[in-house]
Structure 1
Amino acid sequence: MIVTLTPNPSLDRAITIPELRRGEVIRASSSRVDPGGKGVNVARALAAQGTDTVAVLPSGGPEGHMMEELLAEAGVRAVTTPVQGSLRMNISVLEPDGTTTKLNEPGPTLTDETVSALLAATLEAARGGGWVVGCGSLPPGAPIDLYATLTSAAREAGLSVAIDSSGEPMTHAAAALPNLIKPNHEELEELVGRRLDTVGDVRDAACGLVDRGIETVAVSLGGDGALLVTADTVVHAGAAITTPRSTVGAGDCMLAGLLNGLSRGDAPADALSAAVTWGAAAVTLPGSRVPGPADLAGIFAHVDPSPDLSRSLRR
C-alpha cells in the first residue's frame, strides 16, 4: 500500500496556446482539468498502473466536490478532511515546444484541527504497512514542520516514508530522516545550501544526506535524467523524449514509478529505470495527465551505474 498526503491539493487547468504573449488576448487551442497537487498526482499515476494507493487530502467548496468526482473517475481512493473555503485552482499555460508557465494559487487556510485530522487519516490508511508519502507545498496555516511530524509518526508506526517538497518544509523533513526524499536539482541545492553544477556535485550532496541517515536520495534533473543514491548505490538514468507536450506532474510520476518499484522489492537501479520511464511518459501527455500502461510503450530508460561525474547540468 502506498498512501499519499497532499496538504495543498489543487485542480489543475491546462490551457494550450500557440504562443504566450504578455498583455494580449490569446485564443486557446485546447483546455483540460485534472486533479492536482503532488501527492494527488503520485496517487493518480499509481492507480493508472494498477497499484494499490490511497490519497489523503483536505477538501472544500465547489473545487473540492469536483476534485472528489475526478479522483473517483480516475479510480483513486480518496480520504478527505473538510476545510473551510475552496481548494485552489492552478493554471498551466502550455506552448507547442513544451514550454510550461504555471500560475499557482495559495490554497485554503488549514486549522490545527484540520492538520491533526489529516495526519491521523494518513496513518490510519497506512496501518497495514507500506509507504507514506508527503508531497508538495504547504497551504496557509499548516505548520512548517508538518512533513517532519509525519515522518516521525510514520516511522514510529513501522512505515516507510518518502517526502517530496521544498524550502523549509523539506529542510525540517530531511532532519527527521525519512527513508526517501526526491528533490529536483534546484531543491537539492536549496537543501544543502550550495550550487551543484555537475553530476558529481549532485552525487556528493546526495551522499552527504545519506550519511546523515536518509536511506535513499532520488534527484530529478529534468532533461538530464535522474540520479539515485543510497549507501551502496549511485546510479543515473535518463530517457530521450523528442515530442514533449507538458512537464506538469512529470516529477510526481517519476516518484510514483520509483515507489512502485521499491514497494515490490525491486533493486534501486530497476526502480529508477521505471521511475524515469513513468516521468518521461508523462512529458509526452497533455496537461497533468498521468501515464497508463500503454503510454509507457516505446519509452526506453538508459541506466548507467557509472555516470560521468564531470558532466555539466543544464539549468
Structure 2
Amino acid sequence: MDRSIITVTLNPSIDVTLWTDGLDIDNVNRVVRENLEAGGKGINVSRVAKSFGAPTICISVAGRENCREFSDLLDSERLEYRLIEIEDAIRENLTIRHGGYTLKINRKGPAAPPTVIDELCSLIRSCVKPGDIAAFAGSIPENIPVEDYIKLILQVKDLGALIAIDSDFLSLEHYARLSPWLIKPNIHELRRIVEPGGESVDDITNAAYELCKNGVENVLVSLGANGLIYLSERTAVRASVPKVEVKSTVGAGDSALAGFAVAFLDNKDIIESVRLAAACGTACVMREGTGLASPELAQKIVSKVKVGRI
C-alpha cells in the first residue's frame, strides 16, 4: 500500500471521558476514572487507519496554549502529523458516562486567522500525492467562511487526491461543485442535504442517488445499529451488522470511513470495502468512551457482516 490517507481537521479536540459514580444534575458527581485522547473527526480517521497499518498523516490546526498536550497524545499513538499553531487553546470535549447513560458536550473551538486556509493548502501540498485519499472531516472554526473551505478542498483535488468528506454543514450545491470521491453522512445529515426524505431503505437510496447525480462518486450512509448503505451510480448495497452491546457511539462514523478507505487503498472491491467499513463502525460502538475500532475486534466481526445488493 504505497498510497496514503491524509486527514485534514480544522477544529480538533482533546476528548476527555469521565466515568462518574452518578449522573445527578442536583448533586455532586464524583469522577472514578478518566481518559484523554486526541480527537476530531479527521484525527479519529487517522487513528483507525494507523492501527490497520495504513500510511496516514494528520494535518490539523492547533491552539498553542495546549498544543504540547495535544502533540503528546498524537505521539502516544505514533501518528505522523503536521500542525499549524494559532492563538488560544484546542477545545476540550467532554463525554460523561455512568451506567448505560452517556452525556456528550462539545465546545465550539477557537477562531482561526484568515491566513490559515493558505497555510493549510501549502502544508497539504507538501504531503499529498496523486491517488492519496484526502479526508476533510468535522467542523470548521466559526469565523472561517464555508467558501474558503470549499476552495481549499478544490485545490487539494487539483493535486490528484481522492476527496472524502464527512462534514455536516455542506449543501447539495456545495457537493455539486466539489464532486468528491466519497461522502459519509448519517441518516440525519443525508435528510438535511436532500430534503424531504424518510428513513426507509428506498428513501435513503433515493437521497443518496440524488447526490450521485450531482457529482458525488460514492455515498456511504451510516445507519447506526442497522449497518450501512453504499451507493454509486452503478452499485447499491446494504451492509447488515450483528447485534452487539452498544457502549458508546462516539467515533463510529469515523471508524467506518477509515475502514472503507483502508480497504480501498488495499485494492479491495466495493463489497469488501463496505464490509470492513461496517465491521469497523460496529467494533467502535463496542468500546467505552471515545475508543475507536481496533483491527482485532473488527476482524472478528467482518465475517458476520452481511452485504447484499439493493
Instruction: Give the TM-score band, short-chain normalised.
Output: over 0.9
The residue that corresponds to 1:250 in the other structure is 252
Q: CA deviation at 1:70?
A: 0.8
| Equivalence map 1:213-228=2 (5 Å) | 213-228=215-230
The residue that corresponds to 1:36 in the other structure is 39
152-161 vs 30-39, which moves further: 152-161
The residue that corresponds to 2:188 in the other structure is 186
Q: CA deviation at 1:18?
A: 5.5
The residue that corresponds to 1:294 in the other structure is 296
The residue that corresponds to 1:162 in the other structure is 164
The residue that corresponds to 2:309 in the other structure is 306
Checking the alignment, whether the CA contact within 8 Å between 1:163 and 1:170 is kept in structure 2 is no
Separation in structure 1 between the aligned mates of residue 243 and residue 86 of structure 2, nearest angstrom: 40
Paired residue secondary structure (1:145): helix
- Structure 1 alignment gaps of length 5 or more: 308-315
Separation in structure 1 between the aligned mates of residue 90 and residue 165 of structure 2, nearest angstrom: 22
TM-score scaled by structure 1?
A: 0.91
Checking the alignment, whether the CA contact within 8 Å between 1:4 and 1:39 is kept in structure 2 is yes
Paired residue secondary structure (1:34): strand
| Equivalence map 1:39-188=2 (5 Å) | 39-97=42-100, 99-127=101-129, 129-168=131-170, 172-173=174-175, 175-188=177-190
Q: CA deviation at 1:35?
A: 0.5
52-61 vs 174-183, which moves further: 174-183
Paired residue secondary structure (2:152): helix
Paired residue secondary structure (1:41): helix
Checking the alignment, whether the CA contact within 8 Å between 1:55 and 1:77 is kept in structure 2 is yes
Paired residue secondary structure (1:125): coil
Paired residue secondary structure (2:225): helix
Query: How many residue pairs align between the two structures?
Result: 306
**1:139-160: per-residue Cα shift (whole Å, max 9, x none)?**
1222213442233112211111
Paired residue secondary structure (2:157): helix
Separation in structure 2 between the aligned mates of residue 228 and residue 303 of structure 1, nearest angstrom: 13
Checking the alignment, whether the CA contact within 8 Å between 2:279 and 2:299 is kept in structure 1 is no
Checking the alignment, whether the CA contact within 8 Å between 1:11 and 1:67 is kept in structure 2 is yes
Checking the alignment, whether the CA contact within 8 Å between 2:197 and 2:204 is kept in structure 1 is no
2-11 vs 273-282, which moves further: 273-282
Paired residue secondary structure (1:254): helix
Q: CA deviation at 1:20?
A: 3.0
Separation in structure 2 between the aligned mates of residue 171 and residue 7 of structure 1, nearest angstrom: 22
Paired residue secondary structure (2:301): coil
C-alpha RMSD over aligned residues: 1.9
Separation in structure 1 between the aligned mates of residue 28 and residue 243 of structure 2, nearest angstrom: 31
76-85 vs 25-34, which moves further: 25-34
Cα separation, partners in 2 of 1:12 and 1:214, compared to 1, 3 Å:
same
Checking the alignment, whether the CA contact within 8 Å between 1:144 and 1:169 is kept in structure 2 is no
Q: CA deviation at 1:174?
A: 5.0
**1:143-191: per-residue Cα shift (whole Å, max 9, x none)?**
2134422331122111110000012478634532111100111110111
Separation in structure 2 between the aligned mates of residue 211 and residue 80 of structure 1, nearest angstrom: 36
Checking the alignment, whether the CA contact within 8 Å between 2:172 and 2:194 is kept in structure 1 is no
Match for 2:206 among 174, 198, 204?
Answer: 204
Checking the alignment, whether the CA contact within 8 Å between 2:12 and 2:60 is kept in structure 1 is yes
- Structure 2 alignment gaps of length 5 or more: none
**1:111-140: per-residue Cα shift (whole Å, max 9, x none)?**
111121112212321135411110001112
Checking the alignment, whether the CA contact within 8 Å between 1:164 and 1:170 is kept in structure 2 is no
Letter in 2 for 1:21: D
Aligned residues: percent identity? 28
